[in-house]
A and B are shown apart, each in its own frame.
Chain A
């Protein structure tokens, strides 16, 4: 999707910083990415950075656990987990 996912400009944050930090921590612990989760642009394509569907489940659980939220069924599809921003936004919406 993005030519160089790590160098995308920082977008206007849609989600609170807390949610985004939780997502970054979950990605660092469970994402098995090829890069450091703290350096990724929030709109970078995570699948291009090595996120697998199996790892996605654990990322979701870790975010749910840290933020004490539950992602509703309606958002449980691939595009929700494509970027840090979209995961954080879904977590915020579920709060």
Chain B
């Protein structure tokens, strides 16, 4: 398995003469620095189910949370392919850190793609450029996990002021966020699916915790339950309706970046499997240990996963400004397919890695433990249930086939 080759001046070798070229990646060094911080705290973040604060601070410091802000707005204009690579690097070190990065971008990109020119929205874009972390509240109690329906509605209180009240079963890393983006019906008379997205700043928002995130894996995302009350200004509402925002940005971006993080989890587990097999190989140099064949097989799976994820990222980049493509049933099916396939594959890869390592992989802790990876991997199929996505797909499948 190859890792992103870092521009490491300490490597005491001459130029690589194999002809392989190192791709120029303007984020590689910064992503590696953040990953180093994330890796150092990953076990503690997992054990204590606490937010990866050090890694979040490092992401802010190195501009990773601002990476996607368009160049026209003063940012670096990272493509989804670039964000995908960063997400994998982070997910490999600490899945919770990777998921924070992924969830942030799924929302933040809606600002400049769908926000319009309202002062409250453009000010939020400025804040993201300066490093702000965005959380989201899309699901709602009593709705059953469907982000595309709301009970909560935007209520106009006095001129220009609006109020929101939402019972959120989960808001990931709410305590660490500089803003929570909240879905709500357009007004109290609107249909459940007629939603808008509202930027809620901490100073305008009261959060009352209702449940504690104590889960098998992805523990550091701290997706506690909250009651959210926000009093804010109507210019904090994004211009486009949420159906558009979801189809063209939140869903495709989130699925690619989540899958990128899961690829990182799989790569982290595969790395430990390789260490274990190399250790066996060292003990009897010249004979290939039995685990090596399994490892080779594992790398086929991992490469297939990585290629699928990067391809999906590039497909988004090619059509990022084409509402017709992004709004098509075929595109929605493809975005869901990536999420479903990647979430199944990551569990398979990590499980195989654990078997290759053996007892040291089965161990709950230790340098070759696969325990955290395995628990985190199982979060993939559960966070936005695969069955729900398949149910949505079932209707779309009657209209459209796969993108070939």
Chain A positions within 8 Å of B, measured between CB atoms, are: 14, 29-30, 58, 61-62, 64-65, 70, 73-75, 77-80, 82, 86, 89-90, 92-93
Chain B interface, >50% SS class: loop
Q: B5 — which chain A residues lie within 8 A by C-beta?
A: 74
State A75–B3 Cα separation when bound (angstroms): 11
Is B11 on the interface with A (CB-CB < 8 A)?
yes
Q: B281 — which chain A residues lie within 8 A by C-beta?
A: 61
Residue with the greatest number of chain B CB neighbours at <10 A, chosen from A58, A61, A75, A89: A61
Q: A65 — which chain B residues lie within 8 A by C-beta?
A: 282-283, 285
- B17 closest partner in A (C-beta): A79
Which B1-59 residues have C-beta < 8 A from chain A?
Answer: 2-3, 5-6, 8, 10-18, 20
- With A73-B2, A77-B20 known to touch, is A89 a contact of B12 (CB < 8 Å)? yes
- A83 closest partner in B (C-beta): B14
Is B148 on the interface with A (CB-CB < 8 A)?
no
Q: B6 — which chain A residues lie within 8 A by C-beta?
A: 74
Q: A86 — which chain B residues lie within 8 A by C-beta?
A: 12-14
- Establish whether residues A79 and B18, one from each chain, have CB atoms under 8 Å apart when the complex forms: yes
Is B278 on the interface with A (CB-CB < 8 A)?
yes
- Establish whether residues A64 and B282, one from each chain, have CB atoms under 8 Å apart when the complex forms: yes
Q: Count of chain B residues with Cβ under 8 Å from any Cβ of A?
A: 22
- Establish whether residues A62 and B3, one from each chain, have CB atoms under 8 Å apart when the complex forms: no
- Establish whether residues A93 and B11, one from each chain, have CB atoms under 8 Å apart when the complex forms: yes
- Establish whether residues A70 and B16, one from each chain, have CB atoms under 8 Å apart when the complex forms: no
Is B144 on the interface with A (CB-CB < 8 A)?
no
1/0 contact trace for B278-305 toward A, CB 8 Å? 1001110110000000000000000000
Chain A interface, >50% SS class: helix
State A75–B9 Cα separation when bound (angstroms): 11
- With A30-B285, A30-B286 known to touch, is A78 a contact of B278 (CB < 8 Å)? no
A-B CB contact pairs (8 Å), 13 listed: A30-B286, A64-B278, A64-B282, A65-B285, A73-B2, A74-B6, A77-B20, A78-B17, A78-B18, A79-B13, A79-B18, A90-B12, A92-B12
- With A73-B2, A74-B5, A74-B6 known to touch, is A58 a contact of B11 (CB < 8 Å)? no
State A83–B304 Cα separation when bound (angstroms): 35
State A30–B285 Cα separation when bound (angstroms): 8
- Establish whether residues B13 and A80, one from each chain, have CB atoms under 8 Å apart when the complex forms: yes
- Establish whether residues A79 and B12, one from each chain, have CB atoms under 8 Å apart when the complex forms: no
- With A73-B3, A74-B3, A90-B12 known to touch, is A58 a contact of B286 (CB < 8 Å)? yes
- Establish whether residues A70 and B17, one from each chain, have CB atoms under 8 Å apart when the complex forms: no
State A79–B22 Cα separation when bound (angstroms): 14
- B14 closest partner in A (C-beta): A79
Q: B16 — which chain A residues lie within 8 A by C-beta?
A: 77-79
State A73–B274 Cα separation when bound (angstroms): 11
Q: A93 — which chain B residues lie within 8 A by C-beta?
A: 10-12
Which B333-373 residues have C-beta < 8 A from chain A?
Answer: none
State A79–B285 Cα separation when bound (angstroms): 22
1/0 contact trace for B83-101 toward A, CB 8 Å? 0000000000000000000
State A6–B13 Cα separation when bound (angstroms): 21
- B15 closest partner in A (C-beta): A79
- Establish whether residues A74 and B11, one from each chain, have CB atoms under 8 Å apart when the complex forms: yes
- Establish whether residues A61 and B13, one from each chain, have CB atoms under 8 Å apart when the complex forms: no
A19 to chain B, nearest CB (A): 12
- Establish whether residues A61 and B282, one from each chain, have CB atoms under 8 Å apart when the complex forms: yes
State A78–B19 Cα separation when bound (angstroms): 10
Q: A14 — which chain B residues lie within 8 A by C-beta?
A: 12
Q: A82 — which chain B residues lie within 8 A by C-beta?
A: 17
Residue with the greatest number of chain A CB neighbours at <10 A, chosen from B5, B17, B20, B282: B282
Q: A70 — which chain B residues lie within 8 A by C-beta?
A: 275, 278
State A8–B17 Cα separation when bound (angstroms): 21
A63 to chain B, nearest CB (A): 9
Q: B283 — which chain A residues lie within 8 A by C-beta?
A: 65
- B2 closest partner in A (C-beta): A73
Q: B10 — which chain A residues lie within 8 A by C-beta?
A: 93
